Amino acid sequence: MRRLRICFVADVYPVLHPELGVTFGGAEVQVLQLARTLACLAPGPLLEISFVVADHGQREVEEAEGFEFHRSYRPDEGVRGLRLIHPRASRLGFAMTRARADVYYQRCAGTATGLVALGCLLHRRPFVFAVANDRDVDLSFEADHGPAHRALYRLGLARASRIVVQTGHQARLLAANHGRRGALVRSVCPVRASGPRRPSGAPVLWVGALDSAKKRPELLLSLARSLPGRTFRVVGGGEPDAVRSFREKMHGLANVEFVGPVAWERVLEFYRESDLVVTTSAHEGFSNVLLEGWSCGVPSVSLEHDPDGTIERFGLGARSGSVPAMREDIERLLGSPDRYERASAAAIDYVRRHHAPEAAAEAYRRIFLAVANRRGTRHVS
């Protein structure tokens, strides 16, 4: 028996290097947290973890936190129409070869799903795909992309040794639309609150990418206009034009504070300094924004997103359905300290019971071992 080598094909490099100013999402944060927890769960000779990341001008191979980071390609590099072949397929393939992993993992729908699957086929290695957003499995990705992208993504789903989902809803979509079974593993998040809170007059927090049609930041401004007595804080960045446009739309709204992009570790400070977390997303998988807020004991008010009905079933805040209803739900929560405290306590309890990092890491470790051992080589269990 020998140690198990796992390679995460995920661009976590900007999470570790906020000085780059590159926008990243919850998927990258989740992968990095999972890797860190796995490393603690199975340290030393039992597990070797590496990453394939994008080209940000770094060396070909770097080491940090005990992980190797293998450079692949720049997202904007190459000639249109040919870039799928070079540099994407070629440099991704070289990076995967350098990683010498037993199992490769990739998260989020994209051409990378198919390219990683092809690399695994070439090297006769298992491939684990993780669903991030509901759009990964509800056919929206295929509808929004051309034939080459659709074909590569479908190839990746078909070739995956195991597919991991975050919610029961995603599992049902995966089965109905792609004929595959999903292994349910909850997102990773430690509890960060020492106990339930009461409203303190702190801002209402919105976190996300300002150039994202998914996040719909303009709806946050509509909400702020309807609640002039409440302070809203916006944390996030994006393309310069999107940020400029958002700030122009903010003009005249004295109750909106724009923070801009900050390092992920610093974002946690803003959760702790908020009374509520709000989200205006049109679609998600399992929102990291909600989860991080709950881990700090902060209830949430969501416009539409409520994964598996979690907010309403566990009493973590409100799923409103419209901007006017969001206004009412915010006032109802913040205007009732007892109601708020119950939601805060429920949020902490929910994260502790359902998102413990060790439980998720153990579930992944079993999945990785199962697909690796299926090849006939026994690994340390």
Tell me the pLDDT tens digit for each residue of 179-215: 999 999 999 999 999 999 999 999 999 999 887 677 8
Q: Are residues 148 and 220 in the same domain?
A: no
Q: Are residues 45 and 33 in the same domain?
A: yes
Query: How far is Cα 290 from Cα 314, in angstroms, rounded to an integer?
Result: 13
> What integer is the mean pLDDT of 32-59?
89
Strand 204-207 with 182-184, pairing: unpaired
Q: Are residues 54 and 98 in the same domain?
A: yes
Q: Are residues 9 and 64 in the same domain?
A: yes
Q: What is the pLDDT of residues 264-290, one digit of tens each?
A: 888 999 999 999 999 998 878 899 999
Domain containing 320 equals 204-354
Query: How far is Cα 25 from Cα 20, in angstroms, rounded to an integer?
Result: 15
Query: How far is Cα 345 from Cα 299, in angstroms, rounded to an integer?
Result: 9
Closest C-alpha among 35, 43, 48, 67 to residue 3: 48
Q: Are residues 144 and 180 in the same domain?
A: yes
219 is a domain residue: yes
> What integer is the mean pLDDT of 66-70?
97
Residue type, 21: G
Phi, psi of 123 (to 5 degrees): -95, 0
Closest C-alpha among 92, 32, 41, 94 to residue 67: 32
Q: Domain count of the chain? A: 2
Q: Which pLDDT band holds residue 1 (cuts at 50, 70, 90)?
A: low
Q: Are residues 339 and 362 in the same domain?
A: no
Phi, psi of 276 (to 5 degrees): -145, 155
Residue 130 has pLDDT above 90, yes or no: yes
CB 300 within 8 A of CB 271: no
Pick the range with the lowest mean pLDDT from 43-52, 131-140, 296-305, 307-316.
43-52
Q: Are residues 184 and 71 in the same domain?
A: yes
* CATH code at position 235: 3.40.50.2000
Q: Which pLDDT band holds residue 43 (cuts at 50, 70, 90)?
A: low
Query: How far is Cα 5 from Cα 369, in angstroms, rounded to an integer?
Result: 10
Q: Are residues 131 and 249 in the same domain?
A: no
Output the CA angle 190-195-201, nearest 5 degrees.
Answer: 105
Residue 303 has pLDDT above 90, yes or no: yes
Q: Are residues 41 and 102 in the same domain?
A: yes
Q: Are residues 328 and 364 in the same domain?
A: no
378 is a domain residue: no
